[in-house]
Amino acid sequence: MIIGLTGSIASGKSTVSAMLKRKGFPIVDADEIARQVVEPGSPVLTEISQAFGQGVLQADGSLNREKLGELIFNDKEKRLQLNGIIHPAIRKEMLRQKEEWLARGARTVIMDIPLLFESKLQSLVDKIIVVSVTPEVQKERLIARNVLSEEEADARIQSQMPVKEKEKEADAVLYNNHAVEQTEEQLERLLLEWEMKS
C-alpha cells in the first residue's frame, strides 16, 4: 500500500513522518528529494539560475533559498515557473525510490509530500493521511519556528491550499493541536485500522 502523508506548513507532518520512520516504515521524503535535485552542479539548479538569474546562487554555487523564496513568494507566475522546473525532477526521483522500496519487499511505503494536493499527486498514492492543526496553532507554530512576523506567516500559510480543504480530500486526518503523544495515539489507531505493516 502506498500512503500519501501531507499537511500544511507547521502542521506537524514531519513529526508524524518521524514517528512512522521509527516504526520501520520506508519514507520517500519529497522535501529531502527537493534538496537533492538542486545540489550544486545539478541540471535542475542550472535551469533555475538560467530562469531566475545568478542572484539565486550563493558564492559556492549552492542555491540561495532565501533569495529565491523572496522572488517567488508573492509572485504566482514565478512560483509556477519554479514548480515547472523542480516538480518533474522531484516526481521522477520519488517514483524511483518508491519502486526501489517495493522491489526490496516493502509492503507499505510512505510518500511524505507537503504539497500533495497543490501538485495534484493524489494518483501516486492509494490512501492519504492529512496532519491537521487549527489555523491559530498553525500560525503560532510557524511564527515560533521560522521567526516570522504575523504578515510573513500569513503570506506563507495563504500560499498553500487551506488545511480544511485538504481534510475533505483525506482518507484519514490526524489532529496535531495538542501533545505529540495524542497524535501518536491517533496514528497507532490508524495503523491498526488500515492494517499497515512496515
Inter-residue contact 45 to 106 (CB < 8 Å): no
Q: Per the annotation, does 24 bind a ligand? A: no
Helix (H) or strand (E) holding 34: helix 30-36
Cα distance between residue 152 and residue 35, in whole Å: 23
Residues 6+ apart with CB under 8 A from 53: none
Q: ∠ at Cα 189 (181, 141), nearest 5°?
A: 35
* Helix and strand numbers, DSSP H then E, in the chain: 9, 5
Q: Quick one: cell of 127?
A: 490512501
Q: Quick one: cell of 177?
A: 493541536
Cα distance between residue 191 and residue 187, in whole Å: 6
Q: Per the annotation, does 18 bind a ligand? A: no
Q: Per the annotation, does 170 bind a ligand? A: no
Q: Per the annotation, does 10 bind a ligand? A: yes
Helix (H) or strand (E) holding 153: helix 150-158
Q: At what angle do helices 13-22 and 180-193 cross, to 10 degrees?
A: 60
Q: Per the annotation, does 132 bind a ligand? A: no
Going by the annotation, the residues of the binding site are 10-15
Going by the annotation, the residues of the binding site for ATP are 10-15
